Structure 1
Amino acid sequence: MTTATRTASAPPPVDTAPKKVRRRNAALGLLAWLAGILFVLPVLWMALTSLHSEADAATNPPSLAAPLTLDGYREFFGAGGGPSPWFSLANSLTASVVSTVCVLLLALPAAYALSIRPVKKWTDVLFFFLSTKMLPIVAGLLPIYLFAKNSGMLDNIWLLVILYTSMNLPIAVWMMQSFLAEIPTALIEAAQIDGARLPMILTRVVAPIAMPGIAATSLICFIFSWNEMLFARVLTGVIAQTAPVFLTGFITSQGLFLAKVCAASLVISLPVLAAGFAAQDKLVQGLSLGAVK
């Protein structure tokens, strides 16, 4: 048999690359599912505990087959004669939404100046913005408390709006600068040639293109404002009490009402979960903007 005959009759080599890719994708998918279950499991456990009675929720180990009840939710909403959470939820919603809107109104022009029309040493400016987040919140608590006391703004929801705006503005400018840096400057120049001024450029050209980044920034600012408790605990009382502060009222000297706390935690978390679910497409686009050139 000649060499040419042996070469012609030999089977073609098998390409194992697709199989390796499929196995790797299957392993990554399984790992993603395990990570997702790991993160969701505490929330599911909290939801199940909120549907148990206080006696069943306090058992150790907890009973999964215990009868379900809505008593924890009824007591949270004041059906048992306790305080109503609606006022605290309204305060949290007001402080979070208004401060987020203020942050966006201030961060968009600042990010425009640092990205599309960069100032001299703009990296130092960004580092200065970020350095303000390095100060521990508790370090500024006493001066802010004395200022609020002397100015008569204790237990005032608008004080929280100002604080949340100043707290979230640095990270918002930092995020928005990276989003706006991806906008082609040719679009801005074309709008300027057509006679558009800065307010029109920001609202008609920059904002629609950077909408995924704006959505991601607004959602993060909303979450930070909604979850903040230290300033709300110290600077508010009854009138401006927020939902996280209201939640701590279930931990009393009489003990920890676990089912009621789980029900309250789940209800208070729903606005953030709903906002994240509604803006998930924009959030993914915004957080991945500029990741692939």
Structure 2
Amino acid sequence: MSSIAVRRRSGRGKGAGLGLVAWLLGIVFFLPIAWMALTSFHSESDAATNPPSFGAALTLDGYREFFGTGGGASPWPALINSTVASGVSTLFVLLLALPAAYALSIRPVKKWTDVLFFFLSTKMLPVVAGLLPIYLFAKNAGMLDNIWLLVILYTSMNLPIAVWMMQSFLAEVPVAIIEAARVDGARLPTILARVVAPIALPGIAATALICFIFSWNELLFARVLTGVVAETAPVFLTGFITSQGLFLAKVCAASLVISLPVLAAGFAAQDKLVQGLSLGAVK
């Protein structure tokens, strides 16, 4: 009995140690966000001090300048453009990736592993390598500074990783349930919507959140292919960085506001996200 008690105590000690390490790592990763949030409430002169002044007076000047109350440009068109481009492209990705992943997992085609590798290999090309051809295409097609061009680009960019992720999720769906639905006369759209999707909902939520984050944070294509009409939030944020003057507090305020939609989406889907990632999407 004494040896069992010693083992239990050692196991509890290891668990407490791992918990402490996890908390320390969490705090380390959270410190830059906390620093950014604190700096956003400082004046520009206090934010520019080195070392930083933690006890400086708090102010909302950075947020006022970001929202254009001081006469600057309003961020709402850029935020709306980012929401449309990210949301619509994520919806298109899910609509296209679900049947593709179904064909590769539940009813696999020949050499389906080669198909998955082909999907993943499209992400190996540097994004900047395709910038000029896409720019010339958009220019000749009259789609420069068009939000729907970004929707098409973000859909094509996120579709490979979405198919790769959802294939592993759909592989966990019991084939017997699908066969039973097929025997009852259900067609493929009904099977996907009423049988496969509810079972794989955590994986679908994880895929949607990751695609939304990738689209929301994308800067290169949005910077080159948009101007005033289709300007997105990351492009709007870069406008605060100038070669003269102080802008640190304003940039921190803008960064915090632009990050809130992604943080809110992650918080709302955290349960489904954890369940989905635990199914083996990230390996």
On whether the aligned pair clears a TM of 0.5, the verdict is yes
Matches within 5 A, 1:139-150: 139-150=129-140
Count residues with an aligned counterpart. 280
- Which residue does the alignment assign to 1:172? 162
The aligned residue for residue 39 of structure 1 is 29
Of 84, 89, 94, 1:99 maps to: 89
Structure 2: segments with no counterpart, 5+ residues: none
For residues 221 and 253 of structure 1, the distance between their equivalents in structure 2, rounded to whole angstroms, comes to: 33
Structure 1 residues 290, 57: CA separation in 2 closer, same or farther (over 3 Å shift)? Answer: closer
Using the size of structure 2 for normalisation, the TM-score is: 0.98
Contact 1:250–1:256 under 8 Å retained in 2: no
Identity of aligned residues (%): 82
Instruction: Name the counterpart of 2:117.
Output: 127
> Residues 1-293 of structure 1 correspond to what in structure 2 (within 5 A)?
13-15=2-4, 16-290=6-280
- Contact kept, 8 Å, 1:213 with 1:285, in 2: the verdict is yes
Q: Provide the C-alpha distance between the structure 2 equivalents of 1:143 and 1:161, rounded to a whole number of angstroms.
A: 17
8 Å contact from structure 1 (residues 182, 290) kept in 2 = no
Cα distance in 1 for residues equivalent to 2:145 and 2:52: 39
Q: CA deviation at 1:254?
A: 1.9
Deviation at 1:289?
Answer: 1.3
- Larger Rg over CA atoms: 1
TM-score, L = length of structure 1 = 0.94
SS at match of 1:289: helix
> Any conservation in 2 of the 1:92–1:242 contact (CA below 8 Å)?
yes
Deviates more, 1:253-262 or 1:63-72: 253-262
Distance in 2, Cα, partners of 1:55 & 1:234: 33
C-alpha contact (below 8 Å) 2:44/2:246 kept by paired residues: no
Which amino acid is 2:94 matched to? Answer: L
Query: How many Å separate the matches in 1 of 2:196 and 2:267?
Result: 25
**Partners of 1:216 and 1:287 within 8 A in 2:** yes
Structure 2: distance between partners of 1:181 and 1:125: 15
Q: Distance in 2 between matches of 1:256 and 1:235?
A: 28
CA contact (8 A) 2:81 2:231 kept: yes
Determine helix, strand or coil for the equivalent of 1:82. Answer: coil
2: CA distance, partners of 1:185 / 1:268: 42
Q: Report the CA distance between 1:256 and its aligned residue.
A: 4.4
Offset of residue 252 of structure 1? 1.5
User: Which amino acid counterpart does residue 31 of structure 1 have in structure 2?
Assistant: V
Structure 2 contact 45–246 (Cα < 8 Å) conserved: no
Deviations 1:154-187 (A, max 9, x none): 0000000000000000000000000000001000
CA distance in 2, matches of 1:36, 1:29: 11
Q: What's the RMSD between the two structures over aligned residues?
A: 0.9
SS of the equivalent of 2:123 reads helix
Distance 2:37 2:174 in 1: 47
